Structure formats: structure tokens, C-alpha cells
């Protein structure tokens, strides 16, 4: 390869950025290592690609990774413009922008919008919309694409930050890793946690039986995950929780909520109780707040995303049902408990019901509740799960099941 022709491009000509640096150290140092230190916004592999392509010169001669630099050497680095990716197409997708400058953009992501193209979603994603919204992206890793700092599940709504340059991406990712950036979420969950706050620590990995799901697994079988939670409102058979993440594992909040026996309302993967006062597009999980230091200026920025209308509608419906704003109605709780205890007492007396409830299908709380309603008792699945702090159910593989002969565990005459 000649000094003038580099991968079909002329060195330093056309679009791109040409940097001229002087090596200042008294002791020699490898070219690749020094360039990585000088250009922290570029990954090590990216610097290596520049060198391999002939885009780096030392004193006018094409350099190699191991070229030793000596005091006073002139190093020229030419960075060509980012190349478009054929599978990424700009599409006019509406975006709710919370903040934007030349380095980053913060969005309020709606439900139903996948963040990045994948085999099942090749277009119509957040990235496709960003390519249309930001036609002058400087690129990431030499490719014309936005830098995804962190992700939100398809049906999770709220704050998400995207980098416009490699430098912004690297610095924001470091903030996520070192917990300089803060991420807080709101979710409506089934049931009422016994405490007002707590921390869930449980490694997350692939579900052993269903590879499309995740679960809390052994430390050796998954990645460390920590979620802090606090009850914001108690809403009858539901609760509004606020979460703060120390880690960012796939489905982390959803898996941890299911693990503590309080799955998120509307979650199609980790929740089984789907009878809700409002039809939801997916899990009622919203990234309400994002805090970070600006990757260039260092200024602390905090963004808040308003609740999506369907989430607000769900809260309003649950508050109306409690008839006391955001406090659990003792009368409503007493009525639900009375209905359940009356059903349990009937089962204890009726061998026909016992036989019906001994089938394999009746291990499911939804099926038991259906049998109860068929017998004239208004019983809900969550009533069965929460009775006696979970005394009637077993929790296995991120799911709960009625214990065998569970009606014998409720006490004589159901207490």
C-alpha cells in the first residue's frame, strides 16, 4: 500500500478530519497505545482499524501499531467520515425530545417502540427515527448510527439518552457503569409489599426452562443485579413502586419484581394476573427520571418524563377503586378477605370442590379463582397469592403455584 492510497481513499483528502499531533514524551511508546490515550473518544479497535487502513502517519511515513514514537515525532491521523449502514434506514418516526444538543439527545420513549433493529424488527425502531431526526450525525465507530447508551424494553416508556458521537457515547457509558448516571422508574405491581422499601439483590440470567425469559439465578449462572425500591402508593390489591437501579441487566426490574412475588401489572412475560381496569399495551413500567453529567461540559442534568396517558389512567382507576385517594381501603380489603375465607371454608366442607381443585390445572391461581366464581364466591387470583403472606402458594421458576391441598393450610373454617 502506498503512502497516498489508503483503502481506496487519498490520505487527508475529501471529507473527514485530519489531526496533527506531536509526541512529547522523552521515552519511546508504541503508536497504537499513545493514540488510544490521545483520542479517548475512539475505541481501541477503531484506532487499530485506522492504523491498519493506512490512515496514520509518523513523520510522513505510514505507521504500524508497533511503530515506536520518539520525542518530537509528528503523528498525523486522518479519520474518514462515517459510512452508512445498509440495514439502517432513516424513517420519519415521531420523537418526544426532552433535551438535545450536538452531543446527545434525551427522549421520552413511547410503548411499542423497539430501540434498535433486530431480526424481528428490521425497521420502525428508535434508531431509524433518530437517523431521520439527526441527518448530520458524526457517527459511532466509523458507522453512521446513533450511540445507544442504555436500552429500554419495547413496551417500557420514559427517559432514554442517546449519544451523537463516539466521545459522548464512551463518557456516558462510563457514567452508567460507575453509577454516576442515575435512573429511576415507576411501576404498578400486583399485591402489596410488606415493607415500605427494600433492595433486591439477585443475579439475572436466562431462564433454565424458557430461553426467551430471564430469571434470578445463582451468582455463577448470571450477572450481578441490584434494584432499590420504595412504595409510593398503596392501591388496594396493587402498589405504585419507585425503583433505582445500580445495574442495568436485561428485564432487571421486571424479573426482580416477579422474584419478590409482586410482578408488574400488564407484563406479558412475568405476570399471570391480567384482569385490569385499564387495557395496557404492556408492562406498566416507566423510566421517570434520568440524571447524568453532560459528557462534554460536565454540567449535571436531570430529566423527567411525564407519565404516558394510559399509565395515568391506570393510576386514576386504581385510586377510585380504593375510594381513599392512595390509601388501602380497610372495608374493601375486609370484603375481599371475607369472600376468600368463605370460599376456603366451603372447600373444606365440600369434597366435590376439593376433587375439582386437586387437578393439575387448578395449581394455577387464575383457574382457582375461576372455580371460586363458578361456586358463587367473588375471589381474585391476587387474593389467593397474598393470603397469609403467601402461605397458600409456592414460588418456582419466576411463577407462583397453589400448594397441594392448599385449603388445609388456611386453618379450620378459614380462620
Give the pLDDT of residue 363. 77
Q: Which superfamily, per CATH, for 97-318?
A: Pseudouridine synthase (3.30.2350.10)
Q: Does 153 qualify as catalytic in the annotation?
A: yes
Handedness of CA 379, 380, 381, 387 (dihedral sign): negative
Separation of alpha carbons 376 and 359, rounded Å? 20
Give the model's pLDDT for residue 386: 73
Catalytic residue among 52, 73, 123, 153: 153
The whole-number pLDDT of residue 140 equals 57
A 10 A CB-CB count for 42 gives: 21
Cα distances (angstroms) measured from residue 84 to each of 99, 117, 130, 178, 377: 25, 15, 14, 32, 63
**Domain coordinates in residue numbering, the chain:** 5-80, 97-318, 330-414
pLDDT at 364 (0 to 100): 80
Written out in words, the top-level CATH class of the domain with range 5-80 is alpha beta
Question: Can you read off the three cell numbers belonging to residue 163?
Answer: 449519544
Q: Do residues 246 and 176 make contact, with C-beta atoms less than 8 angstroms apart? A: no
∠ CA(253), CA(367), CA(354), 5° rounding? 130
Local mean pLDDT, 10-residue blocks, the chain (415 residues):
45 68 92 84 78 91 93 88 67 94 95 80 85 75 69 94 87 89 95 93 88 86 92 92 92 94 92 77 95 95 94 91 51 62 87 85 79 82 74 69 83 50
- Sequence-distant (6+) residues with CB within 8 A of 396 are none
CA dihedral 128, 133, 135, 138 (to 10 degrees): -80
Length of the chain equals: 415
How many secondary structure helices (H) and strands (E) does the chain include? 10, 24
Q: Report pLDDT digits (tens) over 194-239.
A: 999 999 999 998 888 887 789 999 888 888 999 999 999 999 889 9
Amino acid at each position: 500500500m502506498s503512502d497516498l492510497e489508503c483503502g481506496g481513499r487519498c490520505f487527508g483528502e475529501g471529507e473527514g478530519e485530519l489531526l496533527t499531533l506531536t509526541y512529547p514524551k522523552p521515552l519511546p511508546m508504541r503508536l497504537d497505545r499513545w493514540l488510544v490515550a490521545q483520542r479517548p473518544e475512539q475505541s481501541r479497535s477503531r484506532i487499530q482499524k485506522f492504523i491498519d487502513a493506512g490512515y496514520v502517519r509518523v513523520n510522513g511515513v505510514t505507521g504500524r501499531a508497533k511503530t515506536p514514537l520518539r520525542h518530537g515525532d509528528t503523528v498525523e491521523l486522518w479519520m474518514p467520515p462515517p459510512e452508512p449502514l445498509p440495514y439502517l434506514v432513516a424513517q420519519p418516526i415521531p420523537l418526544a425530545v426532552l433535551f438535545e444538543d450536538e452531543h446527545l439527545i434525551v427522549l421520552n420513549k413511547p410503548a411499542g417502540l423497539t430501540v434498535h433493529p433486530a431480526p424481528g424488527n428490521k425497521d420502525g425502531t428508535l434508531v431509524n427515527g433518530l437517523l431521520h431526526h439527526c441527518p448530520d450525525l458524526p457517527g459511532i465507530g466509523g458507522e453512521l448510527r446513533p450511540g445507544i447508551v442504555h436500552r429500554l424494553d419495547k413496551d417500557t416508556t420514559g427517559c432514554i439518552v442517546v449519544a451523537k458521537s463516539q466521545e459522548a457515547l464512551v463518557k456516558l457509558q462510563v457514567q452508567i457503569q460507575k453509577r454516576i448516571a442515575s435512573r429511576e422508574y415507576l411501576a404498578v405491581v400486583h399485591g402489596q409489599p410488606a415493607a415500605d422499601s427494600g433492595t433486591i439483590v439477585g443475579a439475572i440470567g436466562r431462564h433454565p426452562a424458557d430461553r426467551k425469559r430471564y430469571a434470578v439465578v445463582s451468582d455463577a449462572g448470571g450477572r450481578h443485579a441490584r434494584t432499590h425500591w420504595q412504595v409510593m402508593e398503596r392501591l388496594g390489591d396493587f402498589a405504585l413502586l419507585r425503583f433505582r437501579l445500580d445495574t442495568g441487566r436485561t428485564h432487571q426490574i421486571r424479573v426482580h419484581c416477579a422474584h419478590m412475588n409482586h410482578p408488574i401489572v400488564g407484563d406479558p412475560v412475568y405476570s399471570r394476573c391480567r384482569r385490569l381496569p385499564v387495557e395496557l399495551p404492556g408492562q406498566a413500567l416507566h423510566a421517570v427520571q434520568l440524571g447524568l453529567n453532560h459528557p462534554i461540559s460536565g454540567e449535571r442534568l436531570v430529566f423527567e418524563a411525564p407519565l404516558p396517558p394510559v399509565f395515568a389512567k391506570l393510576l386514576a382507576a386504581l385510586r377510585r377503586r380504593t375510594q381513599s385517594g392512595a390509601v388501602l381501603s380497610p372495608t374493601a380489603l375486609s370484603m375481599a378477605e371475607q369472600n376468600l375465607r368463605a370460599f376456603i371454608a366451603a372447600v373444606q366442607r365440600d369434597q366435590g370442590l376439593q376433587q375439582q381443585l386437586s387437578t393439575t390445572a387448578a395449581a394455577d391461581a387464575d383457574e382457582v379463582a375461576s372455580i371460586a366464581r363458578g361456586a358463587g364466591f367473588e375471589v381474585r387470583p391476587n387474593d389467593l397469592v397474598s393470603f397469609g403472606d403467601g402461605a397458600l402458594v409456592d414460588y418456582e421458576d419466576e411463577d407462583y403455584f397453589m400448594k397441594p391441598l392448599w385449603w388445609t393450610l388456611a386453618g379450620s373454617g378459614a380462620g
